[in-house]
Amino acid sequence: MIRSSEQSDAELLARSNNGDEAAFLLLYRRTQGPVFRFAMQMSGSRTIAEDVTQEVFLALARGGSRFDPAKGSLQSYLFGVTRNQVLRRLDKRANLVSIDEERDCGAAAGSFEAAADQHGDLARAQTVDLVRRAVQSLPVNYREVVVLCDLEEVSYEDAAAVLDCAIGTIRSRLHRARAMLAERLQFVRESAPSVSRAGDSRYVV
Amino acid sequence: MTCEEFISRLQALGRGESPGQEARDHAESCEACAETLTTSGHVDALLRLLARSDDGLEAPARIEETVLGAFRLAHGTANVVSMQPHAVAPAVAPRRFAYRWMGAAAAIAVASAASLVAWQSFRSSDLLPQPPVEQGAPAPERTPSPPFASRPGAAPSVRPGDGSYQGAAPGRGNARAPIIPVSTVRKPVRPVTSAPNPSADEPAEFVTDFYSLVPASGFAPTEGGQLVRLQVPRASLASLGVPIPVGNPNGSVTADLVMGYDGVAHAIRFVQPTRSSERSSR
């Protein structure tokens, strides 16, 4: 979230709770992007992401948020609310899986490799799509740490606050999640070695 | 350093942190750990690719307008909200309703201002459940609301049951008012049953008058249409200038919309189900 402005998120929230529309608008524009992306990367659905983003900010607009600055940043609070909303919707959707979705899920793991095999030299967009699907295929508790820490670059401390767990848990889940991703994306590495050369490594070797 | 220690070190690393010389030495001597380190870097590169790809993703602009409307409502500045058609669409399924009800939503926006007065009177007196009337006793005479009474030619009929609707020719008086009630007397829909049901005397639901959604020219003649029942979020009504009196601001209001065969929304009325009808519907 943008931090260049002179006023903190908490200050803007306080002003907007007092009816300052400009403050609310600034706060919304600062925070809606990460919230929307987090919801979309977690759910894999633009529709769900839009619904969740709207719900999160409607609660904020009505002054009904239970944000406590003592417990963490507003960013962490919004991610936490977003996560709860996404999980609720995913639970509902899990009970209403269509035949097409079932077929897609069942074929998900195999389709990664099949797609890579067909297109030896993957275009960047296809690679991104494959990585997105690999992240989507992770179990929720691993997916959320990857999305928060690796995609949204939230600190481990903030991620621990969002997920209400210890920092050590974040680290171990992240490590396990990355190992799962490595397995699922191994063929991408074999097909497109330039990706790993071009990217800046997480660990400085 | 052992392989377990190497993995623990790797696991404990933060973003951009180096595993250290000792770990690097171990990786040089251990093929498996070297592979782990390389793979981790590869996954990191792919994730960064995805992060960069999604970097510009933002919520659509209509969400900002909806949220801003709710903010203005919550802080008493709802009257400055622009009447965007999408603001009427239900929050849970905005896309589904966006095009289908675009015309209806615009018409609701026009009707909302006039429905303010009717809504308040609807909730306050006439349409609240009345005490049961003894059989055989003369029915109490209902006096239509003065502003809407005695408008000649402004009473198209709605046939209960089949949902069809017959329009009426515009009367002289209709041309003056931008929004005109179709029915001059509020008609609670009563259940057609003589069974000894404790709720038999209670109407199934209470409805307001129909209000024309055809501005200025009064109620346009039409060959017929369909009566469509839909839920309008309270927040949307409020963002259009209709105050939410009491109740859950997250709830919705039931409304009947008269859709002509020409695809135009001609009239709207608000519906309040009674408690007995709600119980029976469960």
Same domain flag for B28 and B108: no
CB-based contact, A12 to chain B, within 8 Å: no
| Most confident segment among A178-192, B30-44, B145-159, B216-230 | B30-44
Of the CA atoms within 13 Å of residue B265, those in its CB half-sphere come to 25
ipTM value, please give it: 0.77
Report the CATH number that the domain containing residue A161 is assigned in CATH: 1.10.10.10
pLDDT of B73: 82
- B268, part of any domain: yes
Q: How far apart are CA A150 and CA A161, in angstroms?
A: 16
Does residue B279 surpass a pLDDT of 50? Answer: yes
Q: Tell me the nearest-neighbour CA distance from A106 into chain B, angstroms.
A: 23
Of A68, A98, A128, which marks where a domain is finished?
A98
Same domain flag for B112 and B204: yes
Tokens describing residue B194: 């003589």
Does residue B48 surpass a pLDDT of 80? Answer: yes
Same domain flag for A35 and A57: yes
B220-231 mean pLDDT: 67
Same domain flag for A84 and A111: no
Per-residue pLDDT of chain A (205 residues; tens, 9 = 90+): 544 457 888 888 888 888 889 999 999 999 999 999 999 999 988 999 999 999 999 988 887 677 888 888 888 999 999 999 999 988 877 665 544 444 444 344 445 555 555 555 556 788 888 899 999 999 999 999 999 998 998 888 889 989 989 988 998 899 899 889 988 887 666 555 445 444 444 443 3
Same domain flag for B168 and B211: yes
Domain that holds residue B33: 3-9+19-53
pLDDT of B160: 41
Same domain flag for A88 and A128: no
Q: Give residue-wise pLDDT tens across range B98-136.
A: 444 555 555 565 556 555 555 555 555 444 444 454 444
Lowest mean pLDDT among A83-97, B70-84, B87-101, B201-215: B87-101
Inspect the interface and report whether the beta carbons of A175 and B17 lie closer than 8 Å: no
pLDDT of B198: 46
Partner residue facing B74 (CB), from A63, A151, A203: A63
pLDDT of A38: 94
pLDDT of A112: 53
Same domain flag for B166 and B204: yes
Q: Three-state SS string across chain B, please?
A: CCHHHHHHHHHHCCCCCCCCHHHHHHHHHCHHHHHHHHHHHHHHHHHHHHHHHCCCCCCCHHHHHHHHHHHHHHCCCHHHCCCCHHHHCCCCCHHHHHCCCHHHHHHHHHHHHHHHHHHHHHHHHHCCCCCCCCCCCCCCCCCCCHHHCCCCCCCCEECCCCCEEECCCCCCHHHCCCCCECCCCCCCECCCCCCCCCCCCCCCEEECCCEECCCCCCCCCCCCEEEEEEEEEHHHHHHCCCCCCCCCCCCEEEEEEEEECCCCEEEEEEEEECHHHHHHHC
Residue B1's pLDDT band, with cuts at 50, 70 and 90, is confident
Same domain flag for B47 and B111: no
Inspect the interface and report whether the beta carbons of A32 and B77 lie closer than 8 Å: no
% of chain B beyond a pLDDT of 70: 38
Same domain flag for A60 and A135: no
Same domain flag for A54 and A125: no
- B139, part of any domain: no
pLDDT of A117: 54
Domain that holds residue A116: 105-191
pLDDT of A99: 45
Return the residue in B8, B11, B50 with the most chain A beta carbons within 10 A, the one to mutate for interface testing.
B50
pLDDT of B43: 86
To the nearest whole number, what is the mean pLDDT of chain B? Answer: 61
Chain A residues with CB-CB distance to B252 below 8 A: none
CB B267 within 8 A of CB B115: no
pLDDT of A81: 93
Query: What domain count does chain B have?
Result: 2
| Most confident segment among A54-58, A62-66, B177-181, B200-204 | A54-58
